[in-house]
């Protein structure tokens, strides 16, 4: 089954304690993205990756890091989490390239993060 | 900066009626626009994509229109059912088709029996 898998689904942590949210896709997609979703603000892109070792900032990258060492994995790293990073996070993948159906985003189930 | 707006108030309709959701945008000429469905506790799921040169797209009970002059897309669900209750998000391409999307905050639809 084609899917994007995020772990963990729920996470409660304290300010300053480094954490990693994993994301893996089995569709051989080139593009992967991380979004955060906050009430009234919609999905905002944090970082995206166009292929292995190629990443770029999205709209709200501050306080986050990513890496793309393998095509299927795109972990999100919070080096020193703060309470304003409490949010619902989604990983997504797509097959990329210009136009057409390739730009459809496939989302994971989400990770609900609380930073105390 | 780009701005995309969806009605933040929930839309309540009776089963069997047509639901119409609106997505308005400013400051950009997107190559395409997408609509997604999101259920509570789940990630968004793609429904339809419409390109800038297409006026209308249909899929079963779903219909999307795209008016680039008005900078507006309308999303219709005909013969609505309680199972259609969800939040619907529109997403705008702002990179000429290179995977850079901005999302609206979504409109929650509730279909009552």
B49 in A contact zone (CB under 8 Å): yes
What average pLDDT is seen over chain A? 92
Sign of CA dihedral B39, B43, B48, B49: positive
Q: Which helix (H) or strand (E) holds B24?
A: strand B19-26
Q: Which chain B residue is nearest to residue A112, measuring alpha carbons?
A: B41
Q: Give the tens place of pLDDT for each residue, B89-104.
A: 999 888 765 667 889 9
- Mind giving me the DSSP string for A29-98? -SEEEEEEEETTTEEEEEEEEEETTEEEE-S--TT-EE--SSTTB--EEESS--GGG-EEEEEEEE--SS
Q: Give the tens place of pLDDT for each residue, A5-31.
A: 999 999 999 999 999 999 999 999 999
Selected residues 67-96 of chain B with any CB under 8 Å from a CB in chain A: 89, 91, 93, 96
- Looking only at Cα atoms, what is the longest distance across chain A? 43
Bridging pattern class, strands B107-112 and B11-14: parallel
């Amino acid at each position: 089954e084609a899917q994007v898998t995020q772990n963990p689904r729920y996470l409660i942590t304290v300010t300053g304690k480094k954490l990693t949210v994993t994301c893996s896709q089995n569709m051989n997609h080139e593009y992967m993205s991380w979004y955060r979703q906050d009430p009234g603000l919609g999905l905002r892109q944090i970082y995206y990756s166009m292929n292995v070792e190629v990443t770029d900032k999205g709209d709200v990258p501050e306080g986050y890091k990513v890496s793309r060492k393998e095509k299927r994995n795109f972990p999100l790293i919070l080096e020193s989490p703060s309470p304003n990073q409490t949010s619902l996070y989604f990983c997504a993948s797509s097959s990329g390239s210009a136009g057409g159906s390739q730009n459809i985003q496939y989302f994971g189930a989400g990770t609900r993060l609380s930073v105390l | 900066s780009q701005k995309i707006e969806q009605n933040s108030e929930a839309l309540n309709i009776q089963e069997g009626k047509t639901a119409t959701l609106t997505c308005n945008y400013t400051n950009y000429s997107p190559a395409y626009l997408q609509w997604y469905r999101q259920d509570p506790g789940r990630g968004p799921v793609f429904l339809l994509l419409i390109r800038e040169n297409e006026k209308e797209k249909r899929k079963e009970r779903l219909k999307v229109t795209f008016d680039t002059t008005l900078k507006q897309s309308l999303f219709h669900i005909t013969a609505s059912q309680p199972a259609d209750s969800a939040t619907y998000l529109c997403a705008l391409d702002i990179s000429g088709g290179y995977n850079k999307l901005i999302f609206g905050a979504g409109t929650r639809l509730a279909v009552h029996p």
